[in-house]
A and B are shown apart, each in its own frame.
Chain A
């Protein structure tokens, strides 16, 4: 499984865009990049995933570099409810959770 590097913590002002980076330089060609988040004492919530192309859904946008060695999750207008630990996970079959980024949205 590919290893990931994410900053341990980030702050973002409410209403601003939150940009969460992830390095996955050892990702293999058939592994998608998945993003999940975990709000305290809850199960993880699926956000978005992609293989090569940038993706957007109602929750977020995912920007994947052309070499696929890194990606950025963008929450366009962060709210207080977006405070959570965000996990970037290259996946083929199984999800391997790292330590993630603890994102705190500041009022």
Chain B
């Protein structure tokens, strides 16, 4: 099946640090990538949708200046959490999809801000 790689798997850093998370589709070209966030004991919440070469579309309530998304190629999207604070601690998950195909998910990045 399709493989989506997410890196790093875990990050622990100090408050005020910016953190970059990479999402790669390893064996297919993804026309669209998605970024989700999951708090403990809750379901996944979509943060933004990104298409290669265009600006990401953010869901309501998600700050675009805090969560910077770059989708530079058909196989790579990055999420940068700028000036992270403890309330940004969460499980961040990306997915990749091509037209008319199911989304395939990475294994997530657990972000802990001290």
Contact = CB atoms under 8 A, between A and B. Distances in A.
Interface in A75-101: 87, 94-100
Main SS of the interface on chain B? strand
B1 A43 contact: no
In the complex, which range does the number of interface residues on chain A fall in?
10 to 19
In the complex, which range does the number of interface residues on chain B fall in?
20 to 34
Interface string B51-68: 000000000000000000
Contacts of A49: 102
A96 B45 CA distance: 7
Central interface residue in A36, A42, A44, A87, by most chain B CB within 10 Å: A44
Nearest to B103: A95
- 10 interchain residue pairs of minimum CB distance: A43-B105, A97-B44, A97-B43, A46-B102, A44-B105, A43-B93, A43-B107, A43-B108, A43-B106, A42-B107
Interface of B: 1, 4, 6, 34, 36, 43-46, 49, 91, 93, 95, 102-108, 110
